Amino acid sequence: MVLEVAEIKITPGQERAFKEAYLGARELVRVSPGLRSMRMTQGVENPGRFVLLIEWDSVEAHEQGFRQTDRFPKWREAIGPFFAEPPFVEHVEDVD
């Protein structure tokens, strides 16, 4: 299992619209084969900072089961207009 961590910074004042867009588009990701869990968090001290956490069976499940499908451009089209800058995305594994 790998965890995809995506740090997303939203244009100030667009937080509510981003959350609505995410809630409307998340099913595009959730139906991906190899997805185990998915959640979005929002900063308390910095409400323009969101962190998307997705557990995948593998990096390949993320890359081939979602990013290389027609659902990925639809996902980015829905949430991308709210980005203040490109998201920082990486995969991590548990240490213990």
pLDDT tens for residues 84-96?
Answer: 999 999 999 999 8
The domain of 78 spans 2-92
For position 96, what pLDDT does the model report?
85
Residues 46-64, mean pLDDT to the nearest whole number: 97
Q: What distances in angstroms separate CA 36 from CA 20, 56, 74, 87, one per listed residue?
A: 23, 6, 21, 21
* Full-model pTM: 0.94
Query: b/e map of 31-40 (b: 16 or more CB within 10 Å)?
Result: ebebbeeeeb
- pLDDT at position 54, please? 98
Total number of domains constituting the chain:
1
CATH number of the domain enclosing 80: 3.30.70.100
